[in-house]
Structure 1
């Protein structure tokens, strides 16, 4: 299923609902996007609203991969730094691909589209992201050209006795 990637799409009620649904579905399929399954859309909605506020305030931009019906099937937020010494790079947050499309190259397309979008922003020279250890996400990001530049052991607690590393990845855009 080919997706059309759009940076800063108009935020309609349908897109907002679709993003909330996508986030819940990705989490419930085991995706490491800020929650531990099981979740409902009601669980995800407050975090989605925080992302939307950041967009409204000009601190974040949304990249969406939509199918032919306009349904969001992939998404990521490009979040600008407010620290004066770090405005030359941005954060990539909440990278999601619908479970039905995983393993089909859509994640790589999303990451390429994010790099293209970042290159189009004035003064941005790199992308930084973090991922949860033990999920294979670090291997995926490395295959997309990112380099591991830091790791905090056991920084993420996903269950009473399950701690994961917080891995920082970096992609220079020069």
Structure 2
């Protein structure tokens, strides 16, 4: 059964806690979402609160995918570019799918929902995201229409002597 997506849902304590748990579960399963495992709820909480602050300031929007049981299964933050010369594209941050749902096509569904949300934003012509190299994420995003437009070698240090590329990808909406 496909996920049900909601853009800008009301952030209740239950939703907040579910996103926090998702972020920890994704990270601890090896997902590249800003942390390295093992991670705790307490370590992720400040970053989630920063995302919610950006939403409160109307700089970012939250897309949530719910599974058939109504549980948070996926998220992405669509963040507006505030630089006056770059408002024609947005950032896609913290793209997460719960490990129990991987391999079902839900990641593609999440990106398609993010694309639909971006297309509804006035003046937005592209989505830009970055990913951690070395995990095959570039291939996944490429299969969803994103093009690699840049790469910074060794920009992400996940551990001593373990540096990964920061890969920049772009999806044109034109």
TM range (shorter): over 0.9
Q: CA RMSD in A?
A: 0.7
Kindly tell me the number of residue pairs found equivalent between the two proteins. 174
Is 1:140 matched up with 2:136? Answer: no
Give the match for residue 84 of structure 1. Answer: 84
SS of match in other structure, 1:2: coil
SS of match in other structure, 1:16: helix
Give the match for residue 35 of structure 2. Answer: 35
Give the match for residue 98 of structure 1. Answer: 98
Which structure 1 segments of 5+ residues have no match? Answer: none
Please state how far the C-alpha of 1:68 moved relative to its aligned partner.
3.5
TM-score, length of structure 1 as denominator length: 0.98
Please state how far the C-alpha of 1:103 moved relative to its aligned partner.
1.3
Please state how far the C-alpha of 1:57 moved relative to its aligned partner.
0.3
TM-score, length of structure 2 as denominator length: 0.98
Q: Which moved more, 1:65-74 or 1:156-165?
A: 65-74
Please state how far the C-alpha of 1:104 moved relative to its aligned partner.
1.0
Distance in 1, matches of 2:81 and 2:125, equals 12
Please state how far the C-alpha of 1:69 moved relative to its aligned partner.
3.7
Distance in 2, matches of 1:135 and 1:49, equals 27
SS of match in other structure, 1:166: strand
Give the match for residue 150 of structure 1. Answer: 150
Distance in 2, matches of 1:173 and 1:65, equals 22
Please state how far the C-alpha of 1:72 moved relative to its aligned partner.
0.9
SS of match in other structure, 2:44: helix
Distance in 2, matches of 1:102 and 1:138, equals 16
Give the match for residue 20 of structure 2. Answer: 20
